[in-house]
Structure 1
């Protein structure tokens, strides 16, 4: 008998596909749910989860020690809830609550088992953070997305020092390059690295005209003699000893103390060994072998002999003009020397650059885990980089996983923001996955009266509301209104003016909480969890194996859906007509098909009219999963056989979606569509071609699937007409979310099809060119994660701001019917919305500005919740503070989304120019108003944004902005970016590349993934094998001179001539193959994506695809990284007065 809510007996492992198209795939164990801890099973405290939709047995009333909050176990993604987990999050209430106030969940609610929980890896990092006064949940209760708690608190390993709060590195690759998004087992908690002094790329040129020189170098040959000013971090000429007490690589101006440590880009003079603590980016001297575990392994990089400019003839340095109360010496700026060679009229001359590419800014790998307290000393702390490994302790502000702002100090005026060139925006990911070692989000139940709110702006109670008059009134931190405190919520104030119970109430001490919604938040009963599958059975889908792959994936995934009366399913197929199946009365209405051993199927009901579609059955199309599981499994097994001889080429995609919507209209839910698109038959191109919203081939230049030129290409990225948009708005109105899995081998007009998932809060999955052999495993894993990840239904979201700031616009996958709210038929842990902000008044300097995101949604278990996240940041009138507190990852994610918004309506050349101008305007503002360097030959970069030029170059060379891409590829890229999270933005344009041919000889510091190497062909050797991944795809490049033994051990082939077109990674009986499988599985775990694997070799189209990701290389249509820095510096010089 299957345990309700748990995996069914005999079901295959979560990442194993037993079908014959994926027999060679390895059995991944990264997401396998585990049983309860042995100690719990033996002690008798373990109990299975209650049947879905039924009340659980009473929970234990004992509570863990208050010395530490409970640590959630590691979360498996994708995966069903582990056995033994059950019960809803505990409603946290303070002990001094009035006795007549209910403290439990509302009557009639069903306790859900934890959703998306994953087993704790052995030796995982324990939480060492105290509970800071909050009463933790009881041992048997599991908050949303968490797994059962351990039997007792676990302290940190004795060998690990006490974690240091905050102080994240100013930049780092973290999960993107070095460490995982969530640390693997055994990752140590180490003190974070404090930000280093600012980096400055100083570009030096003779007075008459700029000319090409070298990084940290002297003027080019032939330059007219004359006095030249030295960069603050430049070295003295040969033979001149450095000043006493200063860095051997710096010559600070007279009277200015040298910065701590050496310049991050400085190279030692010839013959001088590097000093201790020199820059990690500086190349080692000749003959030096980097230590094991160095950022770039054992590869020796060529180093140009450094040439330095003479020191200034006059002591002192020229200060840049002050502005907006800017202090004279900003601490965060970066410099190095770039000498651009320019000919007449500013054109670049054909003089080889001597800039050392090893010393320009690049992401630095970091494997340390950062403990981040959101507030400290009543001040907001700067968040760590989104791509780093960090554990959040919520001390008042919301976790940066949920809310991130582009600037962590809010400018007081719009003029100050405009001068900085930066943008003010929020990245909101309201259901983001927490770190397994973080405290789970507390759930608060205020009973029938509901949560306390401001009566003017309707903002929710949060830690920044100030109580006055002995707690009888409070001042809203959003609108400033003074409100009466409800009588049963009053509490006396302490000497510090805070409520005495503030640390005992989660809503008064934590930045993110969940409230149980009352009846006033519901227009109907919470909707059930409905999953309707719509499968393409046209001739193209049958012949390519897409239908069989979809049926196999659905058949395996339904075993992961929670059982109970609230889980409902439906299924339909379509070609030129639509086929529904009566699942509810299958026992009475059976259709016998002739085959040995008599097999019976549910009755098929065909809808032939695709112009005026209808649903043949109003009640029996969508039924409870528990009632029809066997018939559904039987039907899925037989659909490929039933349509095996189908010769219908037409695809009624739009009509099928409309018919499925009519069946789901009364309930809402998730509509999952498998569309195989058009195919080529007798040179006639067939798209979704009949019925409602039929598409025609509209590509230019003979339907070649290539961009039709700069002027007209963007028109093909717009929907063909308004039919799909009208249908999508109607779907969203009835709370139907659509996800589309496109399995195609040619053009399908993704731009038109994607309108439906984009408007309904869904997602597009794109498999091109689809292969039943290599893509079936990814299709199954993508579908499984789609239906099992933490998610909510019929959601409404609103962002509120303090006085002086207001929301300008929302961007993402949603439907908006009123200006202030966004409607989300479904929202999951991966979806992110961008919220742009604007000033409507001047903010007081020194005060704090608050942002509050409220998400009203229904859990998959039928409980109405309100998740409230609050972020309070200081206001400033000092321009340099904006650059000091800028968030690079959020800024770039904002750039990325704005570019995706502009691409369908503007020529690509114009969008690329706009992206470049965004970068240049920021750097120009810093150079003009904040930099202390006066020489026009110096490119000065703010420390927090030093990698902005590199990521901007990656965006310009990305799939979305390249001119040589396919129309459908660009359309999918736009749709993918629209809901992309902040941690995934940078890897998309600047992927991670690593060498895998020497995995067995590398010592990786606590990580399964080898160190990343720069994205330049100079670091790709012909005798090496390299893996490159960007969060969506994974490429393995094999050089021409690779040792056959290495390819045989890793990939099972002897030479590059044997590279298959359809590749499945297998594990062979050797250490090298095992390590490669470990690396790939770890990357998939980090990215929450299965990642398509493709083998590439030099000389063919696959090799060209691999090298197209070499962002730092020069291309026929793009600059190299070094040339791009020179170009940016030239543009800044042109803007200077």
Structure 2
């Protein structure tokens, strides 16, 4: 797509940054386009099945492809930064491509794909290697006539149990090979016996809660997952409408038309302000028991706290209807968040579960009570700025550790009107594998539909609890680091209170010495031991076989842009000079390709490998993300987005860094409608994120997974306004309208509802908040403009200037020698 000669002037935006020094003259229409690559990949795979074979190109994470598992896990479960492994550590260093894997074990599959197979070996459990404890998989080799199998990870031979024995055919494969999913499929769920049960944590000298009975010890029988809904009933929650909206949303997931609460599960409802309120749901009158001791909490109920909704519908509906009325005149302004989490821990001790908290004010009392709001302006650009991004009270880390050790995940809906200290309280959600849902300045008219969608996704997605995960590798490769939202006590295992379909984590891989065999493969296996919502203990394994190569060209040929961007974005948050290191990492990768694969080109020519043509623009998108943005951004916003980036899927991150932009006034006739031959929705093409491609008579929609903004040009056609808003005058458009009130004309509505191409499930359960931005009139235009990654805004350069910076860094090294990271780098603050 070429820049339009009559493009609009750049909309109002936050201040950007100009390139310092020599600026290479670049034609914006000639620079690499992320959207062209995305659209090409989509059209390539939308009617083709991906076969999941080693050594093949992998579809982008943004493509809705259909995969066929033939022994390698689908890229939806595992993505590699390069699908060809360098045979030595020296080659890996020379290529500068990080060697890492991104795992999303419970990722959603396309309805056209086969579900993950479930295999039950009975009381003996799944076959495992006697030495490294890897699980049996399609890449093992059978020996001794089928009496043993050689582990593909450590090469140890393990005897086959008599019950599992089968003769081999002429190809040394088992005769029942095709009837054994564990020998054909890369992703498998195994049922496991009692020796795999979760274990209760050891008794502490100082318990976090008071219990009249000693805490349970030893293995715990797997049970259906229980939920605790903890509702803030302070004055702020009542005033903002959160309390009423929350009660209605819980009723909807329990008993509404689209009820989605797991039928095997039980729930408890707690309310809290300066005290904790427990509700006895076994009685139709639902008495409320108040615990005023918020420093040493206890559970005052022995029965009636947890019930199945179907059995106690009248009591639950009556309580949820009465709560907003009961606390309507509430004058308490405090809410003891830490204490209610510990009370939930006490209620779920010995079995695990999920705590869903709705909080609207900073917790100043009870466990982890926080002091007043810090003066952030005085800390920016100083050595103390880092204090804004860590918990101010270590009690929050203690609470998180206590929960995850007991198999409990905590998710939070934050709906504050002022500072709430996400850096402190958010660590509980991060360490337990839970989720943060962020609704600043909550208003029911704008946010209730989003909150409803989020809580529905919370209930519907695949979720496990009491989770423990380990990644094993074959000889010659080791895992050096795990990165994500979890709790890690040792070097090899990480723990999650809950782990769901929208969460991903990454591992960094290193050579462990020596040279890998280029005629063989490198193998990876992740194993997640978890309890299902229904109460069954399982292990989900994901297996990968990766070719070993000795040429840098082959490393770059199958490099994965999405996984590399994901790795750089996550690990950037640990660096002292984040933005500068991101640029240097980007330049180093491009320099390595230039040196190893294209060293005869002119120094004045910027050479980009095919796999990494989009790397500079996505790196620029990281600079402009809210957790790394250079201009003043509140610590709550930074910490929330940092939490998101450490837990979101690859697809969600790519959408966040370079949001899809659509020209709604110029959609194809069939866009958003079912294809007459396949029945699938025809997706519209996206355009580049820059005002240079926009026209004043157009209507554009952008969606980064957090906010969906419709920009309406000042010269838009009255007919388009009628189709979208039901009015023909731009000044009559209601800028506060919500998305589901759009498209009064039936023929246009289907196109709009599918035009974001992301929808709630694929965007990590986050139904984006909708805003209308009329040209030069509405405040949302500032946010819209800052989402145009290729423009100069958000404290960073325009795409053309950024390419000049990257090119100059590479050229300086080519001319003067040395490495990336000299005087060209722009050193700055911690963010």
Q: Is the 8 A contact 2:358 2:413 kept in 1?
A: yes
The residue aligned with 2:570 is 897
CA distance in 2, matches of 1:437, 1:1046: 36
The residue aligned with 1:331 is none
The residue aligned with 1:763 is 435
The residue aligned with 1:524 is 220
CA distance in 2, matches of 1:667, 1:935: 65
1:487 CA drift (Å): 2.5
Give the aligned length: 764
Aligned mate of 1:831, from 487, 495, 503: 503
Aligned mate of 1:369, from 46, 49, 64: 46
CA distance in 1, matches of 2:296, 2:596: 64
User: 1:411-426 residue pairs with structure 2 within 5 A?
Assistant: 411-426=86-101
1:730 CA drift (Å): 0.4
CA distance in 2, matches of 1:528, 1:469: 43
Aligned mate of 2:143, from 457, 468, 477: 468
CA distance in 1, matches of 2:636, 2:267: 31
Aligned mate of 1:1063, from 737, 761, 765: 737
1:486 CA drift (Å): 1.9
Aligned mate of 1:636, from 308, 317, 320: 320
The residue aligned with 2:559 is 886
1:990 equivalenced with 2:688 (yes/no): no
Please tell me whether Structure 1 or Structure 2 has the larger radius of gyration of its CA atoms: 1
Q: Where do 5+ consecutive residues of structure 2 fail to align?
A: 8-17, 198-218, 676-680, 818-831
Aligned mate of 2:303, from 598, 606, 619: 619
User: TM-score if structure 2 supplies the norm length?
Assistant: 0.88
Write out per-residue CA displacement over residues 1053-1101 of structure 1, whole angstroms, 9 at most, x where no aligned residue.
5545445463223145424642454335864254343211011234453
3-state DSSP of counterpart to 1:816: coil
Aligned mate of 1:582, from 259, 277, 280: 280
The residue aligned with 2:542 is 869
CA distance in 1, matches of 2:727, 2:646: 39
The residue aligned with 1:926 is 593
The residue aligned with 1:810 is 482
Write out per-residue CA displacement over residues 826-869 of structure 1, whole angstroms, 9 at most, x where no aligned residue.
11111111111111122222211100011111111111111111
Change (3 A) 1:895 1:690: same
Q: Aligned-residue CA RMSD in angstroms?
A: 2.4
1:999 CA drift (Å): 4.6
Q: Is the 8 A contact 2:670 2:682 kept in 1?
A: no
CA distance in 2, matches of 1:1078, 1:1068: 9
Q: Is the 8 A contact 1:737 1:762 kept in 2?
A: yes
Write out per-residue CA displacement over residues 675-714 of structure 1, whole angstroms, 9 at most, x where no aligned residue.
012xxxxxxxxx21112111223332579xxx83364433
Aligned mate of 2:134, from 440, 459, 473: 459
User: 1:203-602 residue pairs with structure 2 within 5 A?
Assistant: 347-348=21-22, 353=25, 355-364=27-36, 365=39, 366-367=42-43, 368-369=45-46, 371-374=48-51, 379-522=54-197, 523-559=219-255, 560-561=259-260, 566-584=264-282, 586-587=283-284, 590=285, 602=286
CA distance in 1, matches of 2:347, 2:695: 57
Write out per-residue CA displacement over residues 626-656 of structure 1, whole angstroms, 9 at most, x where no aligned residue.
3322101110011111111111111211112
The residue aligned with 2:366 is 691
3-state DSSP of counterpart to 1:868: strand
The range that moved more, 361-370 or 758-767, is: 361-370
Compare relative contact order (CA 8 Å, sep 6+) and give the higher one, 1 or 2: 2
1:776 CA drift (Å): 0.7
Aligned mate of 1:657, from 341, 361, 365: 341
The residue aligned with 1:789 is 461
Write out per-residue CA displacement over residues 500-533 of structure 1, whole angstroms, 9 at most, x where no aligned residue.
2222211112111121111211222102220110
1:461 CA drift (Å): 0.8
3-state DSSP of counterpart to 1:579: strand
CA distance in 2, matches of 1:1060, 1:651: 36
Change (3 A) 1:656 1:506: same
Change (3 A) 1:802 1:966: same
The residue aligned with 2:796 is 1118
CA distance in 1, matches of 2:425, 2:151: 45
1:380 CA drift (Å): 4.0
CA distance in 1, matches of 2:519, 2:654: 33
User: 1:912-991 residue pairs with structure 2 within 5 A?
Assistant: 912-962=579-629, 963-991=631-659
3-state DSSP of counterpart to 1:1096: strand
CA distance in 2, matches of 1:898, 1:627: 48
CA distance in 2, matches of 1:540, 1:354: 52
Q: Which structure has greater helix proportion?
A: 2
1:499 CA drift (Å): 2.2
3-state DSSP of counterpart to 1:491: coil
The residue aligned with 1:610 is 294
1:540 CA drift (Å): 0.8
3-state DSSP of counterpart to 1:557: helix
3-state DSSP of counterpart to 2:393: coil
1:659 CA drift (Å): 1.6
Q: Is the 8 A contact 2:253 2:261 kept in 1?
A: no
1:1000 CA drift (Å): 8.0
Aligned mate of 2:518, from 845, 851, 868: 845
1:984 CA drift (Å): 1.4
Q: Where do 5+ consecutive residues of structure 1 fail to align?
A: 1-280, 284-295, 303-341, 591-601, 678-686
1:613 CA drift (Å): 2.1
1:901 CA drift (Å): 4.3
Change (3 A) 1:300 1:505: farther
Q: Is the 8 A contact 1:544 1:771 kept in 2?
A: yes
The residue aligned with 2:805 is 1127
1:623 CA drift (Å): 2.6
CA distance in 2, matches of 1:1112, 1:1135: 26
3-state DSSP of counterpart to 1:775: helix
CA distance in 1, matches of 2:719, 2:239: 37
Change (3 A) 1:562 1:1091: closer
CA distance in 1, matches of 2:653, 2:187: 24
CA distance in 2, matches of 1:372, 1:1076: 26
1:1022 CA drift (Å): 2.2
3-state DSSP of counterpart to 1:773: helix
1:784 CA drift (Å): 1.2
Q: Is the 8 A contact 1:374 1:380 kept in 2?
A: no
Q: Is the 8 A contact 2:32 2:614 kept in 1?
A: no
The residue aligned with 1:772 is 444
1:356 CA drift (Å): 4.2
1:668 equivalenced with 2:339 (yes/no): no
Write out per-residue CA displacement over residues 6-58 of structure 1, whole angstroms, 9 at most, x where no aligned residue.
xxxxxxxxxxxxxxxxxxxxxxxxxxxxxxxxxxxxxxxxxxxxxxxxxxxxx
User: TM-score if structure 1 supplies the norm length?
Assistant: 0.65
CA distance in 1, matches of 2:453, 2:793: 36
1:373 CA drift (Å): 4.5
3-state DSSP of counterpart to 1:470: helix
CA distance in 2, matches of 1:762, 1:1116: 29
CA distance in 1, matches of 2:565, 2:728: 42
3-state DSSP of counterpart to 2:381: coil
Change (3 A) 1:802 1:539: same
CA distance in 1, matches of 2:783, 2:593: 37
Q: Is the 8 A contact 2:431 2:485 kept in 1?
A: yes
CA distance in 1, matches of 2:600, 2:441: 53
User: 1:120-139 residue pairs with structure 2 within 5 A?
Assistant: none
The residue aligned with 1:325 is none
